[in-house]
Amino acid sequence: MTIQREFSNRSKQLCDDALIEMYRSMVTIRQFEDEIQRCFLKGMMQGTTHLCQGQEAVSVGAMKTLRDDDYITCTYRGHGQCLARGMPIDRTFLEILGRKGGVCQGKGGSMHLTDFSRGLLGSFAIVGAGLPVAVGAGLSAQLRGDGQVSMTFFGDGSTNIGAFHEALNLAAVWQLPVVFVCENNLYGEYSPLRATTTVDDLAVRAAAYDLPGYVVDGNDVLAVYDAIGDAVDRARRGLGATLVECKTYRHSGHSRTDPATYREQAEVDAWLARDPIARLRSELVEREILTIAQSEAIGSELLANMQEVSHAAGEAPWPDEKVMREDVLV
């Protein structure tokens, strides 16, 4: 089985409002991550965080393909997926700051954002751990027979851990409605992909399990929507799982303390030139769906809101101590 690089053109059917909504969602994620970074610099935020600036198209394109009753797992780099799925910005911010009112009551944090009301089954901070769980959710969907799909996000580095292979094999052998979305941002922590992996296209690994492997430009939100849309379609029709590799890049370092000096400036510049938000904006302007002025207005409107959310979160009280003793067992 070879890698597939061409997909249906379902994005052509997206109406203007839907496209503008996707644009807003990507800008929201970018601003959210930028604001979290500022909170770090201001000392408002503790611990660690793994931001996804530059990878917004994967989250937004993928979520647009899902139904409300579908399941999702993501990783510690999961703010984008959670926001794109509709996790409320304010409660997400509160959680990341460890404040009262956070989605997980301050017991999860940046790396463990979870929102069952939206099918966000969890963010996993152990590399690869979310994949088997998503397979279980896929089995649940198959047993129930309501056409639900389970989608799991993970990085390029995660394709070298056993859980990835066990999950792909299980999904394949049981023909489960699972969509494996690999965000290949070319680095696992500080290691370039090629130092840890012998292939450039991770989608080839699907062939070992007789699953389709897709490669798509992860910085083109509409291409992501097309490719993942095809994978979701297959899953819903009972045809089984797909591995979709989205080629992308993180603009910042691995985590907040990483200046990412191990990357060549030329490489960084080349990827910055492929910024997914700028690309969608150009396309929408070109297609006369949005004017530059309108896009700027969207940016300022969302930014004002983000700053308000951030300010409110910074002022919010800490959780009550009693919550730390709750939810160990039912």
Ligand X SMILES: Cc1ncc(C[n+]2csc(CCOP(=O)(O)OP(=O)(O)O)c2C)c(N)n1
- Residue type (1 letter), 117: S
Q: Which does 200 bind (CB under 5 to 8 A by kind): other proteins, ligand X, Mg ion, none?
A: none
Q: Which does 189 bind (CB under 5 to 8 A by kind): other proteins, ligand X, Mg ion, none?
A: ligand X
Q: Which does 110 bind (CB under 5 to 8 A by kind): Mg ion, other proteins, ligand X, none?
A: none
Among 156, 217, 220, 275, binds Mg ion (CB under 5 A): 156
Burial of 194: CB neighbours in 10 Å, binned 0-12, 13-18, 19+: exposed
Q: Which CB sits closer to ligand X, 20 or 167?
A: 167
Among 187, 209, 249, 271, binds ligand X (CB under 6 A): 187
Q: Which CB sits closer to Mg ion, 95 or 156?
A: 156
Q: Which does 77 bind (CB under 5 to 8 A by kind): ligand X, other proteins, Mg ion, none?
A: ligand X
Q: Which does 122 bind (CB under 5 to 8 A by kind): other proteins, Mg ion, ligand X, none?
A: other proteins
Q: Which does 140 bind (CB under 5 to 8 A by kind): other proteins, Mg ion, ligand X, none?
A: other proteins
Binding mask 44-83 for ligand X (x = CB under 6 A): ------x--------------------------x------
Q: Which residues contact 134 (CB under 8 A, 6 or more apart)?
A: 71, 72, 73, 121, 150, 151, 152, 167, 178, 180
80 counts as binding Mg ion under rule CB under 5 A = no
Q: Which CB sits closer to ligand X, 123 or 148?
A: 123
Among 105, 158, 242, 295, binds ligand X (CB under 6 A): 158
Q: Which CB sits closer to other proteins, 296 or 320?
A: 320
φ and ψ at residue 56, rounded to 5 degrees: -60, -30
Number of residues that bind Mg ion (CB under 5 A): 5
Helix axes 16-41, 89-97, angle to 10 degrees: 20
With tokens 């303390």, the residue in question is 257
Q: Which does 212 bind (CB under 5 to 8 A by kind): Mg ion, other proteins, ligand X, none?
A: none
Write out the binding residues for Mg ion, residues 257-296 only, by CB under 5 A. Answer: none
125 counts as binding ligand X under rule CB under 6 A = yes
Q: Which does 162 bind (CB under 5 to 8 A by kind): ligand X, other proteins, Mg ion, none?
A: other proteins
132 counts as binding ligand X under rule CB under 6 A = no
What HEC string does the chain produce?
Answer: CCCECCCCCHHHHCCHHHHHHHHHHHHHHHHHHHHHHHHHHCCCCCCCCCCCCCCHHHHHHHHCCCCCCCEEEEECCCHHHHHHCCCCHHHHHHHHHCCCCCCCCCCCCHHHCCEHHHCEEEEECCCCCHHHHHHHHHHHHHHHCCCCCEEEEEEHHHHHCHHHHHHHHHHHHCCCCEEEEEEECCEECCEEHHHHCCCCCHHHHHHHHCCCEEEEECCCHHHHHHHHHHHHHHHHCCCCCEEEEEECCCCCCCCCCCCCCCCCHHHHHHHHCCCHHHHHHHHHHHCCCCCHHHHHHHHHHHHHHHHHHHHHHHHCCCCCHHHHHCCCCC
> Residue of minimal CB distance from Mg ion?
155
Contacts to other proteins by CB under 8 A = 71, 102-108, 112, 114-116, 121-122, 124, 126, 129, 131-141, 143-144, 150, 162-163, 166-167, 169-170, 173-174, 323, 326-330
List interacting residues with ligand X (CB under 6 A): 50, 77, 125-127, 154-158, 183, 185, 187-189, 254
List interacting residues with Mg ion (CB under 5 A): 155-157, 185, 188
